[in-house]
Amino acid sequence: MTALSSIQTPRVVAARLSESLSKAPRQLLIGGKHVDALSGRTFATTNPATGEELCQVAHAGPEDVDLAVKAARRAFEDPAWRRMSAMDRSMLLYRLADLIERDAHELAVLECLDNGKPASLTRLVEIEGSIKTFRYFAGWPSKFGGETLPVSPRGGLQILNYTTREPVGVAALIVPWNYPMSMAAWKIAPAVAAGCAVVLKPAEQTPLTALRLAELALEAGFPAGIINVVTGFGDAGAALVEHPGVDKVAFTGSTEVGKAIVRASTGNLKKVSLELGGKSPQIVLPDADLSAAAASIAQGIFFNQGQTCTAGSRLYAHEAVYDELVEAIAGHARSLKIGNGLDEDVNFGPLISEEQWNQVSGYVEIGVNEGARVLTGGARPSGLDNGYFFEPTILGDAQAGMRVVREEIFGPVLSALSWKDADQLIAEANNSDFGLSAGIWTNDIKSAHRIAGAVKAGSVWINCFNLVDPATPFGGFKQSGWGREHGRQAMELYSETKSVWVNLT
């Protein structure tokens, strides 16, 4: 990876991108063509660091969604795609990964402009992670198949029984604003590796890298209509979920919207996978390496300004180390450089929107009213009057019943609780509607495994936090979702199993 400092600075690239974006509204990408919304409507996407408009984007409605789904269906049923060899599908994914790598710096800056997270971190996490995801799933088409099974039919028949894995069809992919590029890659890569055609609906706050990714897919040689992008609001997403031409919906976002998607998908019993909310516990035992724990816990809650589904927002520190650990985490919080992510020394950017700023600020006020104490942060940083900046915040003296402990804030707010009884600790850690992830900090391997087995969470990190890889499944228990992203499990989400019986008698 080329260092940012060895090429054009993010601000230079941002100036060039901003000039290009301002020339004309960004269009939908349907059937391999850039098109305006049929209504002619557009909407503004803004820079969270300044609150200023970046550009206008086509505002898709249900009629545009219908065109995109039909384009995906035509592409899916085209023999050129259906009969494409597994190796040729792999090569398309490899070429797309190469093009993302070629444009990595520009994509990182574009994401910074639209989402607000620092360009250097975006390059490292989102862009490099997307490249890794596409290259990983590029290996699957030639390895994802059926099997022959020994069966025992009645009547003494000699039967050859085998299964095949077939693409589910047209997949609607709805992704959030917190990791726009990554989430698009997480869904597009396994879907097209399995042989599906897709319609991608990015969040209205962050449509720009999704559109650019689809353009790169065309450059890579993907047939027109295999990857379509519709930009818009909830009405476009609802139309996509309800459309009878969609066979599968994959959604990442809030639990409430996930429930609405399940209800809306029943018309033709679409397959649905959901990666939803979280309220992840960070459990610290008294024998833990407190220095390592403090650094990772701070990263786990403050990275991406806390706008992460797996954010370790509930700290359960043993009473013997609570004060020392919380102060160490607060030290990390105070050391973060807050500002516009185009500045290379910044490692903490703005929240995504004014709405999100108000939500985070409101939760801090709720926590204080419930008896929690602001140990650091809790307000807009001094000198950053524009944009949606909010300080990394720690709420001490938190108690199990508080809303800031039970509800997902989706911002840089850590609720710190102390514990002394291990059994009560597990009960409190599991006393949540969510079960996406958890962190455990201890040098006692027996305790680590015992707690990992007892915690209800889809991912458990021991002496580390928030590590993900396309090879290992990712998803949640309880109201954190259905199904798993990544690995073979993701390929299964986008496929059907067919059983074939051949009478050899």
User: Which positions are catalytic?
Assistant: 275, 309
DSSP run (H or E) holding 453 = helix 445-454
Question: Is residue 420 classed as helix, strand or coil in its secondary structure?
Answer: coil
C-alpha distances (whole Å) from 155 to each of 152, 161, 404, 503 are 9, 16, 65, 12
Non-local (6+) Cβ contacts of 109 within 8 A are 10, 13, 14, 17, 119, 342
β-pair type (148-149, 159-167)? antiparallel
Residue type, 55: C
| Inter-residue contact 270 to 96 (CB < 8 Å) | no
Of the candidates 268, 342, 367, the one whose C-alpha atom is nearest the C-alpha of residue 10 is: 342
CB neighbours (10 Å) of residue 467? 9
Euclidean distance between CA atoms 212 and 459, whole angstroms:
31
Euclidean distance between CA atoms 68 and 386, whole angstroms:
38
Non-local (6+) Cβ contacts of 309 within 8 A are 178, 252, 275, 276, 277, 278, 436, 480
Q: At what angle do helices 104-115 and 10-21 cross, to 10 degrees?
A: 70
Question: Is residue 348 classed as helix, strand or coil in its secondary structure?
Answer: strand
How many Å from the N-terminal Cα to the C-terminal Cα in the chain?
60
Q: What angle do CA 374, 376, 381 make, to 5 degrees?
A: 115
Euclidean distance between CA atoms 113 and 342, whole angstroms:
8
Residue type, 5: S
Euclidean distance between CA atoms 208 and 57, whole angstroms:
9
Per-residue 3-state assignment (H helix, E strand, C coil) for 351-392: CCCHHHHHHHHHHHHHHHHCCCEEEECCCCCCCCCCCCCCCC
